[in-house]
Amino acid sequence: MITRTIPREVTPQEIGWLAGILDGEGSIAFGKSKNKGSKFGYNYYHGIHIVNTNQELIEKSSDIIFRLCDDIPTKAKMSKIDLKIYKNPAFKQNKQCHEICLRNKVWTIRILTILLPYLTEKRKRATALIKIINTLLKASRDKNGKLLYSYYTPKLETYLTSIWNNARND
């Protein structure tokens, strides 16, 4: 017999718990990496990462994230959250690490906006990344809403970098 599980609503306690995990075990990232295949020779990357050796913690975190983004169309959900398992040589016992990598712009904004009131250590970075992603989403479309493929300009790059650096330096 197949049973269908309908996701229940996410409680404020779960949101607070996830914010604590992100503050303590996670990172909020934005940067630029070289990419010879890219038109400009580099790509921007951004996202939310949570790494831990406890698989149950990662599974609970990903469950909450999926429920918070449940109303986003199915196609947008595909491969937007990566669950990885690997061994980290930094650990003396070389334990398995479990990781969540959330890179989708819409999901990232949704999660950070919901967690923002609960964050402490990473609040400034979360606010900065929300602003950066919103800027990128607006810059990537023309006035008719058509996707632009060459929207990165030196002026935009300087602006995005200044937002991120201000959040990091405070």
pLDDT digits (tens, 9 = 90+) for 14-73: 999 999 999 999 999 988 777 777 666 677 788 899 988 888 999 899 889 988 887 776
| 2 band by pLDDT with thresholds 50, 70 and 90 | very low
* pLDDT exceeds 70 at position 99: yes
φ and ψ of 87, to 5 deg: -100, 135
Residues 6+ apart with CB under 8 A from 147: 140, 141
* Per-residue pLDDT, 5: 40
Q: Which residue has better confidence, 127 or 143?
A: 127
**Looking at the domain assignment, is residue 109 inside a domain?**
yes
**Looking at the domain assignment, is residue 60 inside a domain?**
yes
**CATH number of the domain encompassing residue 52:** 3.10.28.10
Q: Which residue has better confidence, 74 or 19?
A: 19
- What is the CA angle 50-53-56, rounded to 5? 80
**Looking at the domain assignment, is residue 7 inside a domain?**
no
Tokens 């469950």 sit at which residue?
63
- Cβ atoms of 167 and 127 closer than 8 Å: yes
**Looking at the domain assignment, is residue 31 inside a domain?**
yes
Strands (E) across the chain are located at 26-34, 42-52, 81-87, 96-102
* pLDDT exceeds 60 at position 138: yes
Does the pTM surpass 0.95? The reply is no
CA neighbor of 79 nearest in space, from 111, 104, 43: 104
* Per-residue pLDDT, 79: 42
Domain encompassing residue 39:
12-121
Residues constituting the chain:
170
How far apart are alpha carbons 15 and 17 in whole angstroms? 5
**Looking at the domain assignment, is residue 144 inside a domain?**
no
Highest mean pLDDT: which of 34-38, 126-130, 138-142?
126-130
Q: Which residue has better confidence, 78 or 62?
A: 62
**Looking at the domain assignment, is residue 83 inside a domain?**
yes
**Looking at the domain assignment, is residue 133 inside a domain?**
no
How many structural domains is the chain composed of? 1
**Looking at the domain assignment, is residue 164 inside a domain?**
no
* Per-residue pLDDT, 39: 64
* pLDDT exceeds 50 at position 77: no
* Per-residue pLDDT, 154: 74
Tokens 């940067």 sit at which residue?
31
